[in-house]
């Protein structure tokens, strides 16, 4: 690289115009090439381990007044890149970040028919309650590591954002994976090959915001994942690819969701070349059978309460599995004397015993080493609770919980008015991103 920054001025002007009318260019050893214009700083990266001006790619732009990273785009004059389809990825949580990594790695193969030209994700937000620290989404973190331009619109229907896609990014194909916002019709009209979505259910079963949670709650086996075209109606587009898997009766959403996304990403990677070549289109993909549609409605926190007086052991167990990410499941216990206040205890892990018992609300630990707490439901079926979390305590196994009782009697309660419980509130059993995943599936449909 020459010592004079004027060497790059003409190339940078071509990249930044008409957005930038005057600028100062500088090269910093630790930061790379930068261009300063008013309140904005444009960061560039080099490609192919060389720095001719034709290989400069705009990486991100930060406005020092708004601290926004929304005005970001990319450009390249590499002839081989121009022959490839331009793919835009939209996603937010960790499962989507893993998909982005795989899609990017496949795009780097010389025979890949596409290039990743940008990533769209949710704006930065406070993700650590105690410190108040503002952090980017998992997808934004991976995109930054890979040097992929990032856009973070407040709303996907914002006119400026859509203008930028249409005039600068110009995607040929869009991919959504738990993005978390509505996609307007104007967005769907932009990519000539359409928009593909990874949905973790066997569509048309479980359309909506909580497909994995609802499928486990219902006791579905097998379960699966679908790659489909996005249309205006929620999760109603024609199916490109689908795969079902048989799961263990005790598998929870916490482990199943990443597994389904991994399988869905492989299906997607196999489908992308066929979509770009025109072999798979909206017309040739498989239409969904509307008579088989089931709604995966958004989960309410109150659904986390287990009610043995009305639910069988299997129903309780499936809810523990399905709601392991958010909102978690819990039961009210009375420990010791009858006048003692009800205690809210989270049920973290369970299984169903084959044996039946006489109905009772008394909870006792099993006779063998490694046995859990035996909770007998109204119909005599037995839920064995293996791990619990009492209020203000860490997760513990059944034996540790029993040791802490010091011989006191425990019963489950049905007639508890939660509004009267001091300090009552619904809590998440995992980190904040768990709930975000639930909401991400809801907003992937278009207006």
Cut 0.85: pTM above it? no
Is residue 203 predicted with pLDDT exceeding 50?
yes
Mean pLDDT of 187-204: 98
Is residue 7 predicted with pLDDT exceeding 60?
no
Place 80 in a pLDDT band, splitting at 50, 70 and 90. Answer: low
Q: How far apart are CA 318 and CA 251, in angstroms?
A: 9
Is residue 93 predicted with pLDDT exceeding 60?
yes
Query: What 3-state DSSP class applies to 228?
Result: strand
Residue among 328, 302, 344 at smallest CA distance from 429 = 328
Beta strands in 30-122 (DSSP E): 32-37, 40-46, 56-63, 85-91, 114-120
193 touches 276 (CB < 8 A)? yes
Provide the pLDDT for residue 23.
Answer: 47
pLDDT tens track for 412-438: 999 888 876 654 454 444 444 444 555
Range with lowest mean pLDDT among 72-76, 180-184, 233-237: 72-76
What residues are paired with 56 via a beta bridge?
46
Query: What 3-state DSSP class applies to 375?
Result: strand
Q: How many CA atoms lie within 13 A of 106 on its CB side?
A: 18
Provide the pLDDT for residue 253.
Answer: 98
Q: How many CA atoms lie within 13 A of 155 on its CB side?
A: 7
Query: What 3-state DSSP class applies to 378?
Result: coil
pLDDT tens track for 208-229: 999 999 999 999 999 999 999 9
Provide the pLDDT for residue 415.
Answer: 85
Is residue 242 predicted with pLDDT exceeding 50?
yes
Q: What are phi and psi of 227, to 5 degrees?
A: -105, 125
- CA 82, 86, 92, 97 torsion-angle sign: negative
- CA 167, 168, 174, 177 torsion-angle sign: negative
Contacts with 380 (C-beta within 8 Å, 6 or more apart), sequence order? 356, 357, 358, 359
Provide the pLDDT for residue 15.
Answer: 46
Is residue 159 predicted with pLDDT exceeding 70?
yes
Q: How far apart are CA 160 and CA 152, in angstroms?
A: 12
**Burial degree of 144 (CB within 10 A; 0-12, 13-18, 19+):** middle
Token pair 């709604």: residue: 295
Q: How far apart are CA 350 and CA 93, in angstroms?
A: 27
**Burial degree of 251 (CB within 10 A; 0-12, 13-18, 19+):** middle
Provide the pLDDT for residue 206.
Answer: 98
Provide the pLDDT for residue 437.
Answer: 53
Mean pLDDT of 304-330: 97
Length of the chain: 447
Other residues' Cβ atoms within 10 Å of the Cβ of residue 316: 24
Q: How far apart are CA 251 and CA 350, in angstroms?
A: 10
pLDDT tens track for 251-306: 999 999 999 999 999 999 999 999 999 999 999 999 999 999 999 999 999 999 99
Q: How far apart are CA 421 and CA 392, in angstroms?
A: 15
Helix axes 94-107, 432-442, angle to 10 degrees: 70
Mean pLDDT of 39-61: 42
Rounded to the nearest integer, the mean pLDDT of the chain is 83
Token pair 């400069």: residue: 56
Provide the pLDDT for residue 131.
Answer: 63
Provide the pLDDT for residue 37.
Answer: 52
177-203: buried (b, 16+ CB within 10 Å) or exposed (e) per residue?
Answer: bbbbbbbbebbbebbebbbbbbbbbbb
Mean pLDDT of 149-154: 95
């Amino acid at each position: 690289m020459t010592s004079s920054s004027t060497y790059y001025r003409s190339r940078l002007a071509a990249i930044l115009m008409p957005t930038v009318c005057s600028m100062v260019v500088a090269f910093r050893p630790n930061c790379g090439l930068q261009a300063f214009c008013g309140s904005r700083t444009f960061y560039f990266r080099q490609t192919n381990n060389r720095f001719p001006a034709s290989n400069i790619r705009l990486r991100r732009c930060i406005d020092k007044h708004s601290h926004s990273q929304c005005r970001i785009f990319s450009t390249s004059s590499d002839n081989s890149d121009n022959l490839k389809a331009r793919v835009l990825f939209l996603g937010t949580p960790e499962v989507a970040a893993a998909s982005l990594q795989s899609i990017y790695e496949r795009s780097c193969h010389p025979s890949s028919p596409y290039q990743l030209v940008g990533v769209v994700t949710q704006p930065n937000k406070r993700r650590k309650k105690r410190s108040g620290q503002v952090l980017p989404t998992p997808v934004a973190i991976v995109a930054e590591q890979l040097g992929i331009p990032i856009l973070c619109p407040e709303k996907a229907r914002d006119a400026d954002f859509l203008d930028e896609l249409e005039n600068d990014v110009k995607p040929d194909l869009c991919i959504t994976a738990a993005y978390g916002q509505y996609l307007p019709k104007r967005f769907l009209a932009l990519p000539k090959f359409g928009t593909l979505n990874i949905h973790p259910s066997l569509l048309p079963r479980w359309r909506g915001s909580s497909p994995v949670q609802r499928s486990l709650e219902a006791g579905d086996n097998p379960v699966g994942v679908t790659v489909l075209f996005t249309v205006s109606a929620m999760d109603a587009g024609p199916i490109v690819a689908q795969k079902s898997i048989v799961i263990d009766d005790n598998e929870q959403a916490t482990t199943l969701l990443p597994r389904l996304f991994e399988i869905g990403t492989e299906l997607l990677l196999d489908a992308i070349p066929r979509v770009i070549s025109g072999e798979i289109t909206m017309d040739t993909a498989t239409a969904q059978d509307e008579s088989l549609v089931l709604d995966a409605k958004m989960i309410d926190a109150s659904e986390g309460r287990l009610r043995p007086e009305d639910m069988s052991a299997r129903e309780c167990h499936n809810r523990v599995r399905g709601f392991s990410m958010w909102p978690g499941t819990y039961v009210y216990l009375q420990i010791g004397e009858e006048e003692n206040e009800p205690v809210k205890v989270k049920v973290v892990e369970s299984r169903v015993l084959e044996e039946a018992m006489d109905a009772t609300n008394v909870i006792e630990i099993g006779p063998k080493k490694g046995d859990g707490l035996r909770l007998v439901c109204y119909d005599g079926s037995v839920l064995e609770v293996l791990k619990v979390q009492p209020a203000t305590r860490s997760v513990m196994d059944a034996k540790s919980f029993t040791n802490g009782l010091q011989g006191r009697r425990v019963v489950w309660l049905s007639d508890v008015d939660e509004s009267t419980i001091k300090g009552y509130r619904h809590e998440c059993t995992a980190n904040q991103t768990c709930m975000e995943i639930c909401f991400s599936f809801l907003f992937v449909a278009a207006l």
